[in-house]
Amino acid sequence: MKVFWHKKEGNSRLLLLFNGWGFDHKVFEGINVPGCDMVSVYDYTDIMPGQFGFTKLYPEVIIAAWSYGVFVAAFYSESVFNVKKAIAINGSETPIDEDKGIPLKIFLATMQSFNTASREKFYLRISGGLSAYRQIAERLPDREVENQLAELKSLYELSLINKENSMNWDVAIISTHDRIFPLANMKNAWGDKAVILEGEHYPDFKSIINHEFLTCIAYALTQSEGLNVNNP
């Protein structure tokens, strides 16, 4: 697993971003939450739970996980400390599932035929077409096809392990036109926690994270003020 620090200023809050399969830190460029350190993790070919030890240094950790990163965050939830809020974006804790994830047949077909050409088709699908693809082109990962395929195989094997870890998710953002995780399956997976937004599998991360982070801070301030009133 790769760990990339976008911002490390000694703040008390940390925004921990779990990336989707095949991507790198570039997908989150342009996001800057004031008063909050920010780190992203990606390339889940090999993961050592101790790599999440840095979360112990922060009193408040806010997680935003995208796509297959939702599963990874849940799988290693016992290794991540001080989580105050967790946001799932276009993914589920059961990433290979007929009703709550990606159907097995589709997943296996992707893994068995993945190459340079199919990767470009994948990028087109997650963005929603050529025009949108061009808009996100500069945030596409600097990774080799072989490396991405190795990661996909590792995630497949990890998904087969019977481990019942779960993250206490506060909200699950799901996109109307997601062509990777079907909308109906995401509704099944998340129930009342689902918030449906117009968009593709590759969403407007900056808008989502800023909104959810500000909501989290506003709630924390409200709780703090309530405590001050009751306990002057």
pLDDT number for residue 216: 56
Sheet holding 60-66, edge to edge: 2-7, 36-42, 13-18, 60-66, 83-89, 171-175, 194-197
DSSP 81-145: --EEEEEEES--S-SB-TTTSB-HHHHHHHHHT-SHHHHHHHHHHHHTSHHHHHHHGGGS----H
pLDDT number for residue 229: 38
Q: Do residues 45 and 2 lie in contact, with contact meaning Cβ atoms separated by under 8 Å? A: no
Q: What is the mean pLDDT of residues 219-223?
A: 47
110 Cβ contact list (under 8 Å, min separation 6): 118, 122, 152
Annotation: CATH topology of 2-230: Rossmann fold (3.40.50)
19 has a pLDDT exceeding 90 = yes
| Cα 60 to Cα 128: distance, rounded to the nearest angstrom | 35
221 has a pLDDT exceeding 60 = no
Q: Do residues 2 and 44 lie in contact, with contact meaning Cβ atoms separated by under 8 Å? A: no
* Predicted model pTM: 0.91
% pLDDT > 70, the chain:
91
Q: What is the mean pLDDT of residues 200-207?
A: 94
Q: State the average pLDDT for the chain.
A: 92
**What residues are paired with 39 via a beta bridge?**
5, 16
Between the CA of residue 3 and those of 96, 168, 188, what are the distances in Å?
25, 23, 32
Higher pLDDT, 32 or 225: 32
Q: What is the mean pLDDT of residues 16-30?
A: 96
pLDDT number for residue 162: 82
Amino acid making up residue 15: L
Q: What is the mean pLDDT of residues 61-86?
A: 97
**Domains in the chain: boundaries:** 2-230
Give the chain's largest Cα–Cα span: 64
Q: What is the mean pLDDT of residues 70-97?
A: 97
pLDDT number for residue 211: 81
